C-alpha cells in the first residue's frame, strides 16, 4: 500500500515537476550537474539573499523519473529555507538514500520521503541524489557553506 502511494507521489512529481524553469535575474546562481552513471542532467538556478536565504530555486533537466522527481521534491523543500537549513536537509536525504535512515521527523523531508525505497536500489542512488548533489556543489562553489 505504502509503496504504491510512494510510487504515485514520485510519478506525480515526474509528470508535473515543481519549480521547473530558469532564473534569469541578475545575481542568480547557475550550476550544471550530471549523473555519469545514468545520463541524468540538470541545471540548477538559485537566488540567495543577503540573509543567506534561498529566495528562489528552479531547475531544468532531463533524465529518469527518479532523478527528475527528486529535483522537483528538493526544490520544493529548500525554497525559502536558509543555507544552513538546506544543508541539514541535504544531509538527511543522503542518510536516507545511502544508509536507509528515515528521519525522526518524517515531515522534514516532505514528499522526498517517497524516495526512501531507493536505498535498496544501489544502482539508482546517484539518480535520486542528482539534484541534491547539484545543490550541495552550488552552495560550496559560492562559499555558502
Ligand atoms: Zn537516473
Long-range contacts, stretch 52-57, CB < 8 angstroms, 24+ apart: 52/82, 52/83, 52/84, 52/144, 53/80, 53/81, 53/82, 53/83, 54/78, 54/79, 54/80, 54/81, 54/82, 54/83, 54/86, 55/80, 56/23, 56/28, 57/19, 57/23, 57/135
Query: What's the domain count of the chain?
Result: 1
**What pLDDT does residue 37 have?**
83
Integer Cα distance of 10 and 89 in angstroms: 18
Integer Cα distance of 8 and 138 in angstroms: 30
Integer Cα distance of 87 and 78 in angstroms: 9
Ligand 1 centre to CA of 128 (Å) is 7
**What pLDDT does residue 145 have?**
56
> What tens digit of pLDDT does each residue of 51-68 get?
999 999 999 999 999 999
Ligand 1 centre to CA of 27 (Å) is 30
Ligand 1 centre to CA of 52 (Å) is 31
Here the CATH number for the domain that contains residue 58 is: 3.90.1010.10
Ligand 1 centre to CA of 129 (Å) is 9
Q: Is the whole model's pTM more than 0.75, yes or no?
A: yes
Q: What stretches in the chain show pLDDT beneath 70?
A: 1-2, 145
**What pLDDT does residue 1 have?**
59
Cell of 127: 539518480
Ligand 1 centre to CA of 11 (Å) is 14
Residue 66 lies in domain: 2-141
Residue with C-alpha cell 539534484? Answer: 131
Amino acid at each position: 500500500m505504502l509503496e504504491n502511494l510512494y510510487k504515485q507521489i514520485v510519478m506525480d512529481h515526474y509528470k508535473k515537476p515543481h519549480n521547473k524553469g530558469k532564473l534569469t535575474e541578475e545575481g542568480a546562481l547557475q550550476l550544471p550537474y550530471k549523473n555519469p552513471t545514468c545520463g541524468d542532467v540538470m541545471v540548477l538556478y538559485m537566488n540567495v539573499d543577503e540573509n543567506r536565504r534561498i529566495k528562489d530555486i528552479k531547475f531544468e533537466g532531463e533524465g529518469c523519473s527518479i532523478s527528475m522527481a527528486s529535483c522537483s521534491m528538493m526544490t520544493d523543500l529548500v525554497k525559502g529555507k536558509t543555507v544552513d537549513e538546506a544543508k541539514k536537509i541535504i544531509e538527511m536525504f543522503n542518510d536516507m538514500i545511502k544508509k536507509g535512515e528515515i528521519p525522526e521527523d518524517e515531515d522534514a523531508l516532505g514528499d522526498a520521503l517517497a524516495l526512501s525505497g531507493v536505498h535498496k536500489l544501489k544502482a539508482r542512488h546517484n539518480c535520486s541524489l542528482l539534484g541534491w548533489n547539484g545543490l550541495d556543489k552550488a552552495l560550496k562553489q559560492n562559499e555558502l557553506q
